[in-house]
Structure 1
Amino acid sequence: MKKIKLLLAVMLYTFITTTAFATELAEFKGKVIDASTQEPLAGATIYITDLKAITTTNSDGEFTLKNVPAKGRFLLEVRFIGYKTHSQMIDLAVPTKLNITMQPSIIESAEIVITGSPFSSNNKTNSLSVVTVGKEKLTQAGGTNLIDAVAKVPGISQVSTGGAISKPVIRGLGYNRVLTMVDGAREEAQQWGDEHGIEVDQFSAARVEILKGPASLLYGSDALGGVINIIDDLVPAPGTHQGNFISSYSTNNGLTASSLMMQGNDNGFVYRGRASYKNAYGFSYKNAVVPNSGFNEFNLNGMVGLNKSWGYSHLTFSRFNTNVGLVEEGPDDSGDYLDEDGNQIDRSTAQRRDLNLPFQNINHYRAALNSNVILGKGQLRTTFAFQRNIRKEFEESRAEPGLNLNLNSYTYDLKYYFPNAGKWEPAIGVQGMYQENSNHGDEFLIPDYTSNNIGAFAYLKRNFENGAINIGARYDYKKVDGEGLVFDGEEVFSAFNNKFSNVSGSLGFAFEVAKDLVIKGNAGSGFRAPNIAELGANGRHEGTFRYEIGNSNLKQETSLQFDLGLEYTAHHITFGLNGFANRIFNYIYLGNFNNESKELENEDGGLETLPVYRFVQTKADLIGGEASVDFHLVKSLHFENSFSYVKGINRADDSPLAFIPAASLNNELRFEPEIKGFDGAYIKIGVTNVFKQARFDSFETQTNGYTLLDAGIGTSIKTAKGKFNLWVTGQNLLNKEYYNHLSRYKLANIYNPGRNVTFGISLPFM
């Protein structure tokens, strides 16, 4: 409790003291016009992401950004439908009125500003392999959760548990090798578990940035495979108040999902509030409904803050609550699901929305203070966050959980960006986290433990007229103390004290070698300390059909990755090609060796046999790449195509690594007709081809390839309050029975979800 009070005091102190800088209000003005006709563009949107500043142009194409610093260099972004997104560095100390010319384009506006690197940048000067997915595409994807909505991005896969839970996999790496950032802070929610999904409100994401490849330099441990950066909306312009209601219904599992949001800006005092609710019964395939695979979710989140001439300071807070049914058995040989007495479960019973035993109850609380204070021409960005994750698993009783884990995490992140003239951009930073986990149930999987880690980095970027190069180095130290436990006279956990340290670095470049042709390259090292389950697990892992045993002698993972990319963006075609090679030393993986098993007493008092999985290490290689080519031959017709492939190799015996996604090919044809009275109308049809996964570990099985047909239709209607959106999205329209290689239910012979049609509306108010 003392640590909580101390952290809240620090956050409150930082929030109050930053207001002392609010002395003078600065403004920055400009005008946006069509490059060919010189006509003003009314309604264009202007952003400075690093300042959380936004405004729009008036009828004369003019704009004014209020409450911005009087000095400093920032990346300005301008977007307008039908035009190529414009970005440029501006110096706020120069009072010259900016004139921006926009080039017409038939290619839809891309998310151009990348915030996951030390300096916000556009695509031409950013060497990282980054993909961004905006709010419209997230909504139109029809996913039952956030990761489901981005799973078709080249190089991205998901470990799925029916429709309720999805865990991100980037280029064959997942779990604690992929870091999720929410509200500027790393999410800590016991993500080592197969059935532990991302605990964030799906509706709160304005866009998702996906950094592919090692990002340990910027984020430390657990970013060895990449980063999922979930970014909320920018606050509205001063004097603006907005509201939005979004609701959808999905036919496959009866998912009802709704969210209500209100936000505003009173002369720099900004606020946002959101409440969301989701409820679903068991998902289905062909003629079967999977009993107890439903879930419900209720989320509350909000933000209050200041946007002033000294920068900004935003305090965000959220509570994520979900109940998820756990499926213990698959169908019998006839494809039927049976209850405990051996009776067939009929469809109406399986579609009940109340959950049976066993199920999970998860509460995740988060508070984060994000600030960017302008110090002269430099910037000090800070994030202080507290998270509390309470994870309960109810197996025998609804009143008393068997497994009850309580995890408190305190994180801090401070970065200083030195003043620069636009050529050399140096930055330094320090980050750290303290954690304490305790068991409060009568079943155990991981021990009580404390963890403390700290890291520091230095980064330097050199900009040129046609690109940039960057170099960085980092040091990390982490300590994990696991407590011993004797229960009913038997030792459950042995105490351990582990220390890990690492030096990592990166070198990258991005250059426009010809008009519209950019080449990128990176060489980087990554680092990951073993998680608590890998070090100390000893118990039945409910919902995973196995017994897990950790290894406190595990060493830290380190990696060395090289990637090279080529991107071409022209008027009628865009093309991308990325290749990577990743060598991981002391790669940790879970395996069932020599058919080891263990007999345990089940809830009925009988005995059941579970396979024993142990954590071991090896040297591993992951090699692969992604390719995309999009054709925009006419303004209203777009043909988008992408391919991704990764091969995992266990170098101990050149055998395949476990849990590697199969190669996939995605094609989508999108027609955007111009209809009077409607805005952004579209019709799309997509085909997903997933190839056979014939490379698998000894305890896995081959997964056959499959083809899925998707489609969608939607439009926007302009109203006085904003855009009223309607859409319908269909997935797996041919109702194909298939297994995804990364589906956890494949072991129980449970197919992935069948046909699903989602109907949605988004209504502005205020």
Structure 2
Amino acid sequence: MKVSTIIVFFYSIVFNLSAANAFLAVSGRVTDASTNQPLSGAIIAIPELQFSTVSNQNGEYNLTRVPVRGRFLVEVRYIGYKTYTQSVDFASADSVNFSLEPSVIEVHEVVVTGTVSSANNRTNSTSVTTVSKDDLTSRAASNIIDAISHVPGVSQVTTGAAISKPVIRGLSSNRIVTLSNGVKQEGQQWGDEHGIEIDQYSAERVEILRGAASLLYGSDALGGVINIIDAVPPSPGQLRGELLSSYSTNNGLTGTSAMMQGNTNGFVWQGRGTYKNAFGYNTPEGRIPNTGFRETNLSGMIGLNKHWGYTHLSASGFTQKLGLPDFGKNDDGVYEDEEGNILTPGQIKSRDLLLPFQDVRHYKVALNNHILLNKGRLRSTLGFQNNQRRELEESVSDPSLFFDLKTYSYDFKYYFEENNGWQPVLGVAGAFQDSKNKAEELLIPDYDNEDFGAFGYIKKSWERTTINAGLRFDYRNISGIEMEEDGSAKFSNFNNNFSNLSGALGLTRDFNTNWNFKANIGSAFRAPNISELSSEGVHEGTNRFELGNTALKPERSLYGDMALEFHNKRVDLHFNVFNNYIGNYIYSRRLNDETQDVDGELVPLYRYVQDNANLYGLEAGLTLHPVSLFHFENSFSITRGRNTATKNDLPFMPAPVLRNELRIEPDLNMKSFSDAYFSVEFENVFKQTRIDEEFESPTGAYTLVNASIGTTLNPGKQPLRIYISANNLFDKAYVNHLSRLRYEGILNQGRNIAFGISFRFNSVK
């Protein structure tokens, strides 16, 4: 009833307010700023309105059904040129021309993360990095987190090849918010062995916000945000599609995805299907049994793009079965099961999973609306998610553990009409959750959760300076339900309320066309999750009994970061520093060598406790493109974490990383080939000795050599992109500090060579 009331209230607002009822057709040309020659195939988009079109052979474009009222940011992109952005008031301009400057380094694109509306990243005070579709698909990656983990400040907690959880500046799980279709992903994020359950091929781009962001995203955005963004629908009369396929040699990973989307007089639609399959991955010491997976994804969208805005209804289904490596070696070094049966090479390399394995299903429906009113705009996102997680240990059909989580969410933002550079926004957001256990084993109780947040935000823009500020109030109520296991009481009823007031202040300053400065300070918070409050049992793969604490308080963060950037046609430099002080930091700790009897075995007992913590570090990058042939990209990132009460280092901090990549981009001057490249990357990971000795052991330094080669074939009007990408080219034996399997003596993947194709087409219906 609560969700239906919100929906009825929303539509009563929309249909009772006077919406804009007229539209324009805006046209113009896209040209080279130096030669004035037309640029054919340039993409002209209004991200805020989900409009896009492509310039013709004369550089001409036409945007139809553009609203009469309002000022919107227009983004113009063309390969080999600097992305151009311009704020346009369409009521006073029926023809807008764009002149693009050649640039071999493309930065400062339009972003939507960390700001309430689309903005040039140069004027966004938060640290946001964008990863494009080509970067996501041209790497030998098993999932979307693998594909973005090369971004400075970003790493991952892995469990084999299938499960990767993002880590941003040392924080993970419920301290990172993941968005897809504008909806906060909800899938039992508290578990280290729980991935994010999103189709890696569905993203047109991924935006990574490094740093606390509770002002816009509420609880859990203590460490950052990962925003997975779909492609903007094509212009009216356009049909667009893509086919992606790849094969990886290390674990036989095959991945294929097909997508079609179209626009008929403002009626937009999209459909995608993806299938992935892999067997156990290989290391320099041998193949690891039961680390394969199968994954199927289906998604679709229908909607309207009209003069009054847009409304899009999307639905998706993610299903994945993945093996859990739970096999030991005998005295001869051969893997065997619990009964002592030796696993054959065929079993180890089979695509059929052995017990134990996880069966994960995530279903999502989202309704995104952007309504243009006479005075201002109203945006909303309504979402429903059902996350089902089964762990099968003794039977392929009867799960030992089964979480069934349902989440209903809403997000409303009202944008006042811009006036003299002032952009005020008000918003409310919240969610209702219901989680049930549907198997005999209980790790957490059944629970209900309710979130509510309200915020005010304002941004003021001058010619070279922008300032933004905001204030937010959040409230959370979480109720655990009394439950029994095997006829004995295990969980008691509890009801906890948490609230918080967050604020932020940001500044950007362009000193000139090349130098830019950003700064951001504020506060953030995170309410304890259900595992921290009430877990009672052995977490998968940890070999420790964890006991929750219903007396936990919310984590409260005081943070600040600064960035200095330099950019011209040949050089891009950025230097970021950050400090995140977290009061009441929650972690598990063993007190007085406590143990717990689990089926006759004494297991270490860990309790959730709180202390103050401090995380700090830096990210730096230097990209050089002295001539068109060479592209030299370098980055370095380091994060330190300290428990200020115990004076110990925080556990599970990523090791410092230095990456150096030389990319050669020859101009073949051939009609049949274009955008050819060859790259070699040195990934230098330093040793990690700053550890919490109670949880972890140190890891040594290592260097991986990665390489890739690719080009675009042009047999006709539609290009075909092909690539070969190699990770760990020399089959280095290593273990990443954040690998959960390293405590089982299992190495990370050895040499992995991926072959892939990407075919995209556009046509006029």
TM-score category, normalised to shorter length:
over 0.9
Aligned counterparts of 1:762 and 1:312: Cα–Cα separation in 2: 29
Deviation for aligned residue 1:597: 3.0
Deviation for aligned residue 1:547: 2.2
Partner residue, 2:320: 322
State which drifts further: 87-96 or 305-314.
Answer: 87-96
Deviation for aligned residue 1:571: 1.8
Gaps of 5+ in 1: 602-606
Deviation for aligned residue 1:93: 1.2
Could you tell me which amino acid in structure 2 is paired with residue 692 of structure 1? Answer: K
Partner residue, 1:66: 64
Could you tell me which amino acid in structure 1 is paired with residue 654 of structure 2? Answer: P
Deviation for aligned residue 1:721: 5.4
Aligned equivalent of 1:379, options 377, 380, 395: 377
Partner residue, 1:716: 712
Aligned counterparts of 1:501 and 1:518: Cα–Cα separation in 2: 36
Partner residue, 2:400: 402
Would you say the 8 A contact 1:251–1:756 is kept in 2?
yes
State which drifts further: 97-106 or 626-635.
Answer: 97-106
Aligned counterparts of 2:680 and 2:192: Cα–Cα separation in 1: 32
Could you tell me which amino acid in structure 1 is paired with residue 689 of structure 2? Answer: A
Partner residue, 1:751: 747
Aligned counterparts of 1:80 and 1:739: Cα–Cα separation in 2: 40
Pair 1:127-2:120 in alignment: no
Equivalent residue pairs, number: 759
Aligned equivalent of 1:682, options 677, 680, 695: 677
Aligned counterparts of 1:496 and 1:12: Cα–Cα separation in 2: 33
Pair 1:662-2:655 in alignment: yes
Would you say the 8 A contact 1:15–1:369 is kept in 2?
no
Partner residue, 2:603: 610
Aligned counterparts of 2:718 and 2:13: Cα–Cα separation in 1: 32
Would you say the 8 A contact 1:323–1:359 is kept in 2?
yes
Aligned equivalent of 1:221, options 200, 219, 222: 219
Deviation for aligned residue 1:400: 1.0
Aligned counterparts of 2:563 and 2:106: Cα–Cα separation in 1: 22
Q: 1:337 to 1:594 in 2, by over 3 A?
A: farther
Could you tell me which amino acid in structure 1 is paired with residue 628 of structure 2? Answer: K
Would you say the 8 A contact 1:195–1:544 is kept in 2?
no
Aligned equivalent of 2:686, options 687, 691, 697: 691
Would you say the 8 A contact 1:18–1:313 is kept in 2?
no
Partner residue, 2:239: 241
Deviation for aligned residue 1:35: 1.1
Partner residue, 1:583: 581
Pair 1:728-2:724 in alignment: yes
**Aligned-partner SS, 2:336:** coil
What TM-score, normalized by structure 2, do the two folds share?
Answer: 0.96
Could you tell me which amino acid in structure 2 is paired with residue 690 of structure 1? Answer: V
Partner residue, 2:733: 737
Aligned counterparts of 1:15 and 1:747: Cα–Cα separation in 2: 56
**Aligned-partner SS, 1:138:** helix
Could you tell me which amino acid in structure 2 is paired with residue 226 of structure 1? Answer: G
Could you tell me which amino acid in structure 1 is paired with residue 631 of structure 2? Answer: H
**Aligned-partner SS, 2:92:** coil
Deviation for aligned residue 1:454: 0.4
Aligned counterparts of 1:619 and 1:258: Cα–Cα separation in 2: 46
* Alpha-carbon displacement from aligned partner over 1:677-723 (angstroms, at most 9, x marks no partner): 21211111001011010011122101111110100011112354532
Aligned equivalent of 2:425, options 424, 427, 430: 427
* Alpha-carbon displacement from aligned partner over 1:36-93 (angstroms, at most 9, x marks no partner): 1122222211011000000111222221111221110111111111211110111111
Aligned counterparts of 2:246 and 2:213: Cα–Cα separation in 1: 35
Pair 1:101-2:99 in alignment: yes
Could you tell me which amino acid in structure 2 is paired with residue 615 of structure 1? Answer: Y
Aligned counterparts of 2:545 and 2:361: Cα–Cα separation in 1: 25
* Alpha-carbon displacement from aligned partner over 1:143-164 (angstroms, at most 9, x marks no partner): 1000010001000010001100
Would you say the 8 A contact 2:20–2:69 is kept in 1?
no
Q: 1:323 to 1:3 in 2, by over 3 A?
A: farther
Q: 1:334 to 1:378 in 2, by over 3 A?
A: farther
Deviation for aligned residue 1:466: 0.9
Aligned counterparts of 1:20 and 1:354: Cα–Cα separation in 2: 59
Q: 1:579 to 1:567 in 2, by over 3 A?
A: same
Partner residue, 1:285: 283
Aligned counterparts of 1:543 and 1:315: Cα–Cα separation in 2: 39
Would you say the 8 A contact 2:313–2:368 is kept in 1?
yes
Could you tell me which amino acid in structure 1 is paired with residue 287 of structure 2? Answer: V
Map 1:43-122 to 2 at 5 A.
43-108=41-106, 111-122=109-120
Q: 1:331 to 1:634 in 2, by over 3 A?
A: farther
Partner residue, 2:549: 551
Could you tell me which amino acid in structure 1 is paired with residue 159 of structure 2? Answer: T
RMSD: 2.0
Pair 1:642-2:638 in alignment: no
Partner residue, 1:138: 136
Deviation for aligned residue 1:421: 3.3
Map 1:562-577 to 2 at 5 A.
562-577=560-575
Would you say the 8 A contact 1:194–1:544 is kept in 2?
no
Aligned counterparts of 2:382 and 2:216: Cα–Cα separation in 1: 16
Would you say the 8 A contact 1:288–1:336 is kept in 2?
no
Deviation for aligned residue 1:590: 2.1
Aligned equivalent of 2:499, options 498, 501, 511: 501
Aligned counterparts of 2:532 and 2:40: Cα–Cα separation in 1: 56
Would you say the 8 A contact 2:20–2:373 is kept in 1?
no
**Aligned-partner SS, 2:136:** helix
**Aligned-partner SS, 2:541:** coil
Identity level (%): 49
Deviation for aligned residue 1:612: 2.5
Aligned counterparts of 1:732 and 1:12: Cα–Cα separation in 2: 52
Deviation for aligned residue 1:591: 2.9
Would you say the 8 A contact 1:281–1:295 is kept in 2?
yes
Map 1:612-631 to 2 at 5 A.
612-631=605-624
Partner residue, 1:707: 703
Aligned counterparts of 1:574 and 1:173: Cα–Cα separation in 2: 27
Could you tell me which amino acid in structure 1 is paired with residue 673 of structure 2? Answer: F
Q: 1:22 to 1:350 in 2, by over 3 A?
A: farther
Deviation for aligned residue 1:115: 4.2
Could you tell me which amino acid in structure 2 is paired with residue 625 of structure 1? Answer: L
State which drifts further: 731-740 or 587-596.
Answer: 587-596
Q: 1:55 to 1:587 in 2, by over 3 A?
A: same
Deviation for aligned residue 1:357: 1.0
Deviation for aligned residue 1:26: 2.2
Q: 1:22 to 1:420 in 2, by over 3 A?
A: closer
Aligned counterparts of 1:198 and 1:755: Cα–Cα separation in 2: 25
Partner residue, 1:206: 204
What TM-score, normalized by structure 1, do the two folds share?
Answer: 0.96
Could you tell me which amino acid in structure 1 is paired with residue 191 of structure 2? Answer: G
Gaps of 5+ in 2: none
Aligned counterparts of 1:731 and 1:416: Cα–Cα separation in 2: 46
Could you tell me which amino acid in structure 1 is paired with residue 742 of structure 2? Answer: K
**Aligned-partner SS, 1:722:** coil
Partner residue, 1:604: none
Aligned counterparts of 2:317 and 2:378: Cα–Cα separation in 1: 28
Q: 1:19 to 1:287 in 2, by over 3 A?
A: farther
Deviation for aligned residue 1:488: 3.2
Would you say the 8 A contact 1:107–1:632 is kept in 2?
yes
Aligned counterparts of 1:568 and 1:655: Cα–Cα separation in 2: 37
Aligned counterparts of 2:574 and 2:330: Cα–Cα separation in 1: 46
Would you say the 8 A contact 2:20–2:374 is kept in 1?
no
Partner residue, 1:653: 646
Deviation for aligned residue 1:7: 8.0
Deviation for aligned residue 1:441: 0.4
